[in-house]
Chains A and B, each alone.
Chain A
Amino acid sequence: MSRKLFLEIAIALFLALAAALVLPRVLALFALINATVFIAMAVLALSLGLIWGVGGILSFGQTAFFGLGGYAYAVAAINFNDSLYAVPIALLVPTLAAAALGYFMFYGRISDVYVGAITLTVSLILFNFANSTAGEEWRIGEAPLGGFNGIPSTPQLNVPGNPDATLSPQAIFIVAVFALALCYILAKLLLAGRFGRVVVAIRENETRAELLGYDARRYKLGIFSLGGAIAGLAGILFANSVFVSPTMFSLFYSGQLIIWVMVGGRGTLLGPILGAFLVQAVTTWAGTEPRLNPNAILGILLMLAVMGMPRGLLPTLRLAWGRRRGVQLA
C-alpha cells in the first residue's frame, strides 16, 4: 500500500470516528436524523461515482438499486423480525438485480447512451410498480408493500440476535458514518488494485483494453454489480432514517444523484460524497427560506457548477492547489 493511500484511509477513519463521537452529542434529534439521510445519500452518490466516474458507465437509474435495497430490507426485517438477516438480503437483492441487468447490457454490447436509457427505464418501471402495490394482495409474507405510501412501519436495525434491542437514532447515525467510511475505503483499495486500474483503463479506451486481452464485459459487470451493492446499502441506511416508499425509485432522486456527482467531481471518490453533502445542505437550507424555491436553487447551482468548474468541485480545487504549489498535477 502506498503512503498516500494509507494516509487517505487513516484520514477517512479519523473523520468517521470524530463524526461518530461528536455529532450525536451536539446535534438535536431532528438534525441528527437529517444528517443520517445525508450520509445515506452520500453512500448512494459514491456508488454512482464508482460506476460513472470511475467506470464510465452512466447509470441514470442508480435509484433502482437504492430502492430495491430499501424495500428488500424492510420486507426481510418485517418477516424475519431481526435485521441480522435483513441486511445481507438487502445487499444481495440489489447486487443480483444489478448483475442481471448488467449481464444483458454488457454482454449484449450495449453502449453508453443506451445504458443510460435502459437504467432510467428500469428505475421508472420499479417506481410505477411500487406505486401500484396499494392493495391487500400486495404483500410479501407479513410485509405489505403499501403502494404509494410505502412501508411506514419499516423496522429499525437491532442489536444482532436481539430483535427487541432496536438501535437509537444516535446509534443508527454512527452505523451510517462507518458504513460510508467503509465504502469509501473499500472503493479506494479497489481502485488502487488491479481490478480498479483495468476498470479505469476500460473507461479510457475499451477497444485498447480488449486488444490487450482484457474482457471488458466482465470488468464492467463487476463494477456495475458492486455499484448496485453500495446503492443497496444506501437504501438500507435511508430505510432506517426515514422509511421505504416508491419515491426512492423516483426521477427526483436519480436526477439529484447525477447533480451531486457532477458538482462534486466525476472521476474522484471523495467528490461525489462532498457533492451530496453540499448540494443537500444548500437545498435543505433553501427549503427553509420561504422566498426561495429549492428546485430553482438546485438548477442554478448545477448551471454554475457546469459552467464554472466543468470537472467538478474537487478536481478544480486540486488543480488550483497544485498550481499554487507550482506542481503540474496529473
Chain B
Amino acid sequence: MSVLLSARGVAMHFGGVAAVDGVDFSVAEGELRGLIGPNGAGKSTFFKCLTGQLRPTAGSILFRDRNITGMQRFAIARMGIGIKTQVPSLFDGLTVRESVMIALRRFLAEREARRRAQAILERFGLDGLAETEVGRLAHGQRQWVELAMVIAPEPALILLDEPTAGMSAEETRRTAALIRELNARHTLIVVEHDMAFIRAIAHTVTVLHQGRVLVEDEVAKVLADPRVQNVYLGRQVQPA
C-alpha cells in the first residue's frame, strides 16, 4: 500500500509550550488508523496542523507526495483532506440540506449537487430534518450533519476528531458501522477516547503522549502495553 500522508518531525509550539513536539507519522492509502492519547496529548493540534488550521513551527507534511506544510486550509481541503472537528463546526443559520449543498456546490452544478445531497441525507437518516435549521438540532444530530458535510465531497483522507462525543450508545454503534463502511473507499484517521470504540473499528493505533508518538502498533498490543496504561493513569513514562 502506498503512503497517502506522512508527517516528519511536525512540531507546534505556542510560546514555550510544545503542544506537538516532533511527530513522525504516516498513513497508507486505505488504512483506518486510530489516534489516541490522554487529554492534552496533542491530537487535535496535530489534526489542525494536517488541515492547515495551524502552521507547524517545525517539520513537514506530505500528502500524496506533495508538501502541504503551511498551505492554506481551503487549498488542503481541495486536495482531498476532510475533517470533522471535536466540537461540531457547522453553519447554524442554514438548514441541513443547505449545509450539505454547500459542501457539494464547490465542484458540482446545482442540479447534480441537489441529487447528491438528497442521497447523502437519506444515507445519514437526515432527510426528515432536511429543512430544519442546523442551530436547532440536538447534539447527536449535529454530529451527523457535520459527518454528512465532511463526507459529501468524498475526500481521500478523512480525519475524525472524537466522532462519538456526546452520542448515545445506539448512535455510537451506527457511527462505528459508518466508519467501517467509509473505510471501503476512504482512508481515515480517527481520534477517540472510547477504547471499546477504537477496538471495534481500528486495526492499527498510534498513541500520542505529551506531543510525541509514544507507541504505534496493532490495537490489541497497544491497549495491553503497560506504557499506554500508565499514561492513561497519569503516570510518568519515557517515550520509546
Contact = CB atoms under 8 A, between A and B. Distances in A.
Interface residues of A, number: 20
Contact of B91 (A201, A210, A213, A216): A201
B102 A213 contact: no
A210 B77 CA distance: 8
B29 to A, nearest CB: 21
A143 interface: no
A209 B102 contact: yes
Interface stretch (B17-25, B82-90, B174-182, B228-236): B82-90
A132 B114 CA distance: 56
Contacts of B83: 211
A330 B131 contact: yes
Interface in B74-101: 74-75, 77-78, 82-83, 85, 89-95, 98-99, 101
Contacts of B105: 194, 197-198
A212 B92 contact: no
A201 B72 contact: no
Contacts, number: 72
A330 B95 contact: yes
B77 A211 contact: yes
Residue among A197, A203, A208, A209 facing the most chain B CB atoms (10 A cut-off): A208
Nearest to B101: A197
Contacts of A201: 91, 94, 98-99, 102
A142 interface: no
A211 B91 contact: no
Interface in A138-181: none
A62 to B, nearest CB: 22
B51 A213 contact: no
A213 B153 contact: yes
Contact of B106 (A207, A214, A267): A214
Contacts of B73: 207, 210-211
Interface string A211-233: 11111100000000000000000
A213 B153 CA distance: 10
B51 A205 contact: no
A204 interface: yes
Contacts of A204: 90-94
B77 A208 contact: no
B152 to A, nearest CB: 8
A200 interface: yes
B127 interface: no
A197 B132 contact: no
Query: Do most interface residues of chain A lie in helix, strand or loop, or is the interface mixed?
Result: helix
A198 B102 contact: yes
Contacts of B149: 208, 212
Nearest to A204: B91
Interface in B97-115: 98-99, 101-103, 105-107, 110
Contacts of A267: 93
A194 B94 CA distance: 14
A210 B74 CA distance: 5
Contacts of B72: 210, 215
B171 interface: no
B153 A211 contact: no
A197 B82 contact: no
Contacts of B99: 201
B92 A213 contact: no
Residue among A204, A209, A212 facing the most chain B CB atoms (10 A cut-off): A212
Contacts of A197: 98, 101-102, 105
A310 to B, nearest CB: 15
A212 B110 CA distance: 17
Contacts of A210: 72-74, 77
A70 to B, nearest CB: 34
Contacts of A216: 74
Given A214-B74, A216-B74, A208 B106 contact: no
A16 to B, nearest CB: 28
Contact of B102 (A207, A212, A215, A330): A212
A212 B133 CA distance: 19
B94 A211 contact: no
Contacts of B85: 211
Contacts of A209: 91, 102
B90 A205 contact: yes
Given A194-B105, A197-B101, A208 B89 contact: yes
13 contacts: A198-B105, A201-B99, A204-B91, A205-B90, A207-B53, A207-B73, A208-B89, A208-B90, A209-B91, A210-B72, A211-B85, A211-B89, A212-B153
Interface of B: 51, 53, 72-75, 77-78, 82-83, 85, 89-95, 98-99, 101-103, 105-107, 110, 131-133, 149, 153
State the 5 A-B residue pairs at the shortest beta-carbon distance, nearest first: A204-B91, A213-B77, A213-B78, A210-B74, A208-B89
Given A200-B94, A213-B107, A213-B153, 10 more contacts: A204-B91, A207-B89, A210-B72, A210-B77, A211-B51, A211-B83, A211-B89, A214-B74, A215-B74, A330-B95
